[in-house]
Amino acid sequence: MDEWVKLGNEISDWILDYANSNNISTLVVGVSGGVDSAVTSILCAKTGLHTVVLNIPINQSESQYELSNKHIQYLHSNWDNVTSHVINLSETFLAFDIEVGEYKSDLTLANTKARLRMTALYHFAGLLNGIVVGTGNKVEDFGVGFFTKYGDGGVDISPIADLYKSEVYSLAESLGVIQEIQDASPTDGLWNDGRTDEDQIGATYEELEWAMEEISKPSNAKLTNRQSEVMEIYLKLNIMNSHKMHPIPIFKNTKR
């Protein structure tokens, strides 16, 4: 059996085992039109459990919106345990934007979009005895912290969080993710100017994977100028976003 097919089966079995062990009957996944959510939603569908996929546009570009819908159609054509909904939160977001007035920034509004989506996902999970399934990969979740705290980071399980982005792409190919999604530039879809993940981070996922691996092993090799730049980007984000990747600090009462 192909190693990626085998890995996909193992992850789906892991999801199913977790759900069964916790009396969960529904898996809820936000589908963005990106490769991470496409892979995750297929892995959920393969469990045979009721899988609810949500397309949650908030002033989304037409191309991202349509990619999400195309993937949802692909799911429906292959698994009869999948149901889907489009929950357009553009007006909800606009109301929030107006209400906070001048007290905002582009970054806080981008994070607000992610948190509104999280709220919608948990709404459906609560209705259907479900859990929210995360779509973050290893670089995002444990390398540079490229996610919104209590937004796309607000999940119950993370089935692909130990996979590098390159591994997600290999898994996507084995699972038959539509080629348009595999070819699309990764983006979180939270910015009005359509900036990609690479635009925001300043490095590709391939470069970040290199940095994440390099930092974990002793090496006296001389780095190129670009490698030095990437390592600086990686370390800066890793430190700056460490609060997202570590448990919430708790004051310990030692007087008991």
C-alpha angle 137-182-237 in degrees, rounded to nearest 5: 35
* pLDDT above 80: residue 247: yes
CATH of the domain at 112: 3.40.50.620
For 194-239, write each residue's pLDDT tens digit: 899 999 999 999 999 999 999 988 777 789 999 999 999 999 999 9
Rounded (10°) CA dihedral 88, 121, 15, 17: -140
Total of domains in the chain:
1
Q: Tell whether 199 is covered by a domain.
A: yes
Strand segments, DSSP code E, in 77-173 are: 82-86, 130-132
Buried b (16+ CB within 10 A) or exposed e, 44-59: bbbbebbbbbbbbbbb
Residue 208 within a domain: yes
Q: Which pLDDT score, from 0 to 100, does residue 1 have?
A: 62
**Which whole number is the average pLDDT over 157-186?**
97
Report if residue 255 sits inside a domain: no
Query: Residue 94: what pLDDT?
Result: 98
Q: Are strands 26-30 and 50-55 parallel, antiparallel or unpaired?
A: parallel
Tens of pLDDT, residues 29-50: 999 999 999 999 999 999 999 9
- Structural domain includes residue 60: yes
| 252 falls within a domain | no
CA 64 distance to own-chain centroid? 15
Read off the pTM.
Answer: 0.95
- Establish if 231 belongs to a structural domain: yes
Residue of 177, 157, 152, 167 lying closest to 42 (CA atoms) = 177
Instruction: In whole angstroms, give the CA distance from residue 57 to residue 152.
Output: 14
Q: Is residue 123 part of a domain?
A: yes
Domain span including residue 22? 3-245
What is the band of 251 on the pLDDT scale with cuts at 50, 70, 90?
Answer: very high
- Position 192 scores a pLDDT of 86
Could you give phi then psi for residue 103, rounded to 5 degrees?
A: -90, 75
Say how far apart CA 53 and CA 76 lie, in whole Å.
10
Q: Provide CB contacts within 8 A for 211, sequence distance 6+.
A: 143, 203, 230, 231, 233, 234, 235
Q: Is residue 125 part of a domain?
A: yes
